[in-house]
Chain A
């Protein structure tokens, strides 16, 4: 469904991605592991068209994403949960969700269904719906960032380090929501530092090093043999 083929990317003059090739099939959870600064986040940004792509091809459902306006990706079914969460801090929780809900072509009834579903997954957001996004705790902001992606009813979610800096209870909730999204048939490209979580949630895992994919294996294989993980991640 989502195919990156030898993608190169630059930040100004520095060459960050050196030909990354990744594929995510419909409904699949794919993990992307690697140390800090190897280009995982940049890979997601390249998909979103936020870094200058200098080579290769990114296609979604067979359609090349080059030349698509940045706001066109959401319409195609690609949602992004950035590492910094990027909540609209001065907007209330409900207004944050409305940025995705108020799109053309979504009927009022369908809108209610989508909102209810998100509130069911994250009851805390219903409680805090009239509170400014900036006043939420870090964990709540992460919930809101994921909920905001979910209201787009995407086919794939690019999830960037969702558990970073969260308490174990919140991490457990993220694990549950990833599982629930998978049950719903939503594909996920999961960038993480949390190796156990990634190996548990993902079907396949790519391991990156210095702007390249160095290893690619089913998660089950990596769970059984920790040598590879140790070699690339040192854990």
Chain B
């Protein structure tokens, strides 16, 4: 029983971080039809920027903000130079392009920061006793913060003027243009938002597992799985799927080793593709 509760909390915490990564990925896919295979590497670069700023200033929250801003700017640069010219092209073209960007970013990180693991220390100290474990408060704080950021994104999309522009463009690019919405600018802005959220996730996740130049791939893969399971381009679906898949992995880790538990998410992916390829968490079309 105690183990189940512990794993539920673990699953929720991991799920919230994953949801933050996946919401950027799904937003970008929804509006541009681009699967961004460099998404996890933006997260990785964000984590490195965060670790660097933390070393210099000693302030975690400043590091979080700086990483988000720097990576958002990088996202703008990437989108304008690499992806904007490819919009509307064969999906394979954009997959190859973003995959190439992913490799470049990884090698850059290796060159800039070296192969060793960087540690980000927890900004929220302390533990609380959870049965036989000392559970760090920071993990709980991370889940809450991720929830707040996702909530803010949702409110912005729902009520903000530019949120409506983003949703209109996602639904019908041509009509949005006819209504005077500057679609290329909206695309770039969405890419920047997605990049910033990835970077922030990287910094938040840093204290869990350390920062390495290869950490991005794992996130890209996991985020991609939940985006597919949640229904491509469906923000709410991706968030639910993140929590669902993370909980499933956490429970699976009770039975098999944590490394094997990852298989659970692949099983969900395959089953989704077989039986409900539009996604698990999308309303049934009427």
Q: Can you name the residue of chain B whose Cβ is closest to the Cβ of A70?
A: B177
Is A75 in contact with B180, judged by CB distance below 8 angstroms?
Answer: yes
Q: Can you name the residue of chain B whose Cβ is closest to the Cβ of A90?
A: B171
Q: Can you name the residue of chain A whose Cβ is closest to the Cβ of B176?
A: A99
Q: Can you name the residue of chain A whose Cβ is closest to the Cβ of B160?
A: A102
Within 8 A of A (CB), among B154-187: 161, 164-165, 167-168, 171-172, 174-184
The digit string for B182-196, where 1 denotes a CB below 8 A from any CB of A, is 111000000000000
Q: Can you name the residue of chain B whose Cβ is closest to the Cβ of A50?
A: B174
- Say which one of A8-16, A80-88, A164-172, A202-210 lies at the interface with B: A80-88
How far is the CB of B178 from the nearest CB of chain A, in Å? Answer: 5
Cα A73 to Cα B172 with chains together (Å): 17
Within 8 Å by CB of B182, from A69, A91, A95, A96, lies A69
- List B contacts of A70 (CB < 8 A): 174, 177-178, 183
How far is the CB of B177 from the nearest CB of chain A, in Å? Answer: 4
Is B171 in contact with A74, judged by CB distance below 8 angstroms?
Answer: no
The digit string for A91-104, where 1 denotes a CB below 8 A from any CB of B, is 10001101110110
Is B180 in contact with A82, judged by CB distance below 8 angstroms?
Answer: no
How far is the CB of A96 from the nearest CB of chain B, in Å? Answer: 8
- List A contacts of B183 (CB < 8 A): 70-71
Is B182 in contact with A71, judged by CB distance below 8 angstroms?
Answer: yes
Within 8 Å by CB of A48, from B165, B178, B181, B184, lies B178
How many residues from B make CB contacts under 8 Å with A?
Answer: 18
Which secondary structure characterizes the binding site on chain B? helix
With A98-B161, A98-B164, A102-B164 known as contacts, the answer to whether A74 contacts B174 (CB < 8 A) is no
- List B contacts of A89 (CB < 8 A): 171
Within 8 Å by CB of A71, from B161, B164, B167, B180, lies B180
Within 8 Å by CB of A74, from B161, B167, B180, lies B180
Cα A79 to Cα B180 with chains together (Å): 9
Cα A70 to Cα B182 with chains together (Å): 8
Is A74 in contact with B179, judged by CB distance below 8 angstroms?
Answer: yes
Within 8 Å by CB of A152, from B164, B175, B180, lies B180
Cα A71 to Cα B168 with chains together (Å): 13
Cα A146 to Cα B256 with chains together (Å): 60
The digit string for B11-35, where 1 denotes a CB below 8 A from any CB of A, is 0000000000000000000000000
A155 at the interface (CB under 8 A from B): no
A40 at the interface (CB under 8 A from B): no
Q: Can you name the residue of chain A whose Cβ is closest to the Cβ of B177?
A: A70
Q: Can you name the residue of chain B whose Cβ is closest to the Cβ of A151?
A: B179
Cα A99 to Cα B181 with chains together (Å): 7
Is A91 in contact with B168, judged by CB distance below 8 angstroms?
Answer: yes
Is B174 in contact with A99, judged by CB distance below 8 angstroms?
Answer: no
Q: Which of A70, A82, A148 is most buried by chain B, counting CB atoms within 10 A of its CB?
A: A70
Is B174 in contact with A91, judged by CB distance below 8 angstroms?
Answer: no
- List A contacts of B172 (CB < 8 A): 86, 88
With A88-B171, A89-B171 known as contacts, the answer to whether A74 contacts B164 (CB < 8 A) is no
- List B contacts of A75 (CB < 8 A): 180
- List B contacts of A96 (CB < 8 A): 168
Q: Can you name the residue of chain A whose Cβ is closest to the Cβ of B184?
A: A69
Is A91 in contact with B164, judged by CB distance below 8 angstroms?
Answer: yes
Q: Which residues of A contact B (CB under 8 A)?
A: 48, 50, 69-71, 73-75, 79-80, 82, 86, 88-91, 95-96, 98-100, 102-103, 148, 152
Between-chain CB contacts (< 8 Å), 18 pairs: A69-B177, A70-B178, A71-B177, A71-B180, A71-B181, A74-B180, A75-B180, A79-B178, A82-B175, A86-B172, A88-B172, A89-B171, A91-B171, A95-B167, A95-B168, A99-B164, A99-B179, A152-B180
